[in-house]
Amino acid sequence: MNSAKKGMKLNIKLTLVTMILVTLLMGIFGGIVFYNLEKTHVRESISYMQSTMQRRMDSIDNNINAINMTTQFFLSNAKMNEVLSRSKTGASYTTAEWIDIYNTDVAALERLINTNPVINGARYYAMTDNVQEMLPVMYNNSRLKKQEWADMADEGGWIFDYREHIFSTDDKKLMALITPMDDRANGRIGYIETSMQLRDLFPSLYEHIEGEVSCFVCDDGQVIFGDAAPDLYENVETAARSLAKELSTGKEPVGAVQGDAQTGIRTAYNAPGRYIISGMYIKELAGTLVSVDDISAGIASIHRLRSVFLLAALIMLVALALVVNMLVNIVLKRFYEVLSTVREVRSGNLDVRTKNETRSDEMGELSYQVNRMLDRIQELMRENVNREVLAKDSQLKALQNQINAHFIYNVLESIKMMAEIREEYDISDAVTSLGKLLRYSMKWSTQTIYVSEEIEYIKNYMALINLRFDYEIYLSLNLSERAMKQMIPKMTLQPIVENAIVHGIEEIAEDTTIYIKSIESDEDCTIEITDNGRGMSEEELDNLRGKISGHIPSGGGSGNGIGLKNVQDRIRMEFGERYGIEVAAKENCYTKVCIRIPISSRTVGEEKE
């Protein structure tokens, strides 16, 4: 009773210790895994956004350069400057002069615009209507007044998010560089508008990427969105304005994880909002391009996975507690049984035995070994005298069995040397083949070999078998290099060749040939062994197929199909049920055995690793 109480206390202690250790390990493992998963997801999102913004900056720089270069071409055109100056003073050109200007300068500027696909248009606007309009390059002052930016023309600079109003309302959102033109003699003579679609300058504003919204924040506070859903503006605008202010003033954004000092791109993760925000300040445009990527779905997915893990871990811990408690109870119960038996033995009772001898676990093994130990002690006491005699007999038998395979190889080598000395080269070759045959048969370091090794064994076998007959059995090989490198169970091909000789060729007793060839497909390799022996009748063939498949029992003795059945079983054990052998035959004509194996992926460099 006292022992039982102690056992229960130990049981509780072992269960508690086990559960505490397992809980700690699972908690630490789960915490590390899911913490790293979330951090990795954030880092990858930040890295992706940083590289994306770099690509966008390169594209924007190229577009800004295109606008600036086009504006410079317009500014440097002396003829068009002269036209604007003369229109300011009221002077005019003749029709022929207008035609010449249109065919030379206007045409050249138009070609410049057309060769740059990102430029929406480039135009001169005169200060008066005293100018001949030459579309699409020259416009009078009344056209200028129709534009949304007309009031800001004198200031010049970049204008964003406006629409064309010269001829009709156009829904395309544009941005432009407005450049005032001055002349020393006449003052302000006109304006140049070099425009581009917002979609071309800021493609990210119009890319419909799930979870991502982009906008451009001007230094004057204007926020420009593209095609994003209006309900997203509120969530993004506040964060975008804050980041734009920090970048425009040169401050480092709070929480920035990645940044490039040269490009001015800064990317940060907002943990409360679960979004990545990235911005780059474009000094020439006096504004900041901001992209916000909502990664809350990915974070939520990781958190759901963590919850599932915790639930599964809790269920496992409860189940483990029950199992551990049950196992400890069983172990302790059987331990006390063994302990009681040992105490009986110590008192001198060698006839006592433990009740439980099952060897399913360590305690069962202990019970079993205690009983065997007691049996052995009693046996040794009864056979103490005979034990030394048996030991001496064992030593004598061991000495008698010292003739091993190595000795046989040495004897065969000696016989071969004697035959060569006497110039009996046929005998020497036969002994060599026999040695190779024995070495191959006795060496079972591996269960599978290459087809090329089995073919070499068959060649030696054929060399010896031809010594028995007055006729010659030839071997014809048509095996590809790939087939020779396939793996097969050892002694797969040789029993089939032996069957061909014993059951097919010996009865006709004349020169003949055994053909071995390979047929390959994408996944399988088939090796065909064909002899021109006596063949089989349909009844014999059906009976043999039944024995190979196991539908007909095969007894002992020669010619009962047990050899082919063994080959079939070993192939299927190695490669699976879809592989094996098939037999075809025609009486007094031929017998063909086809062995199908899978194409091995192993290369020559991996041989016998």
Q: What is the DSSP secondary structure assignment for residue 469, as one 8-state letter? A: -
**Does the domain spanning 211-298 belong to CATH 3.10.50?**
no
Which residues on neighbouring strands pair with residue 180, listed in sequence order? 191
Q: What pLDDT, on the 0 to 100 scale, is given for residue 581?
A: 92
Per-residue model confidence (pLDDT) at position 339: 72
What is the reported pLDDT for 404?
47
Q: For the chain, what is the largest distance between any 2 Cα atoms, rounded to a whole number of angstroms? A: 144
Per domain, the residue ranges of the chain are 77-201, 211-298, 444-606
Contacts of residue 503, defined as CB under 8 A and 6 or more positions apart, other chains included, come to 533, 534, 559, 591
* Chain center to CA of 282: 41
The answer as to CATH 3.30.565.10 being correct for domain 444-606 is yes
Closest CA to 176 of 153, 146, 196, 200: 196
Same fold, 77-201 and 444-606: no
- Taking the chain (609 residues) in runs of 10, the rounded mean pLDDT of each run is 49 81 88 89 89 89 92 91 89 87 90 89 91 89 89 90 76 90 90 92 85 86 77 71 78 53 75 85 88 87 90 88 79 72 78 70 74 77 54 40 48 64 68 66 66 88 80 91 90 88 85 92 92 89 86 63 82 88 91 91 45
Q: State the Cα–Cα distance between residues 428 and 421, nearest whole angstrom.
A: 10
For residue 402, give the amino acid letter. Answer: Q
- Amino acid identity of residue 322, one-letter, is L
What local confidence, expressed as pLDDT, does residue 517 receive?
93
pLDDT at 206: 85
Q: Which residues contact 236 (CB under 8 A, 6 or more apart)?
A: 213, 215, 228, 290, 292
What is the three-class DSSP state of 298? helix
388: exposed, middle or buried (Cβ count in 10 Å: 0-12, 13-18, 19+)? exposed
3-state secondary structure of 115: coil
The whole-angstrom separation of Cα 109 and Cα 106 is 5
CA angle 496, 502, 504 (to 5 degrees): 85
What per-residue string of b and e applies to 428-438 under the rule 16 or more CB within 10 Å gives b? bbbbbbbbbbe
Whole-number pLDDT of residue 592: 93
Task: Note whether 71 and 192 are within 8 A (CB).
Answer: yes
264: nearest Cα among 240, 241, 288: 288
Helix (H) or strand (E) run with residue 367 in it:
helix 362-382
Distance separating alpha carbons of residues 139 and 131, to the nearest angstrom: 8
Cα–Cα distance for residue pair 216/280, rounded to 1 Å? 10
534 and 526 Cβ atoms separated by less than 8 Å: no
Domain at 77-201: CATH architecture: 2-Layer Sandwich (3.30)
CA dist list (Å): 264 to 251, 284, 291: 11, 13, 14
- The predicted pLDDT at position 256 comes to 44
**pTM (2 d.p.):** 0.50
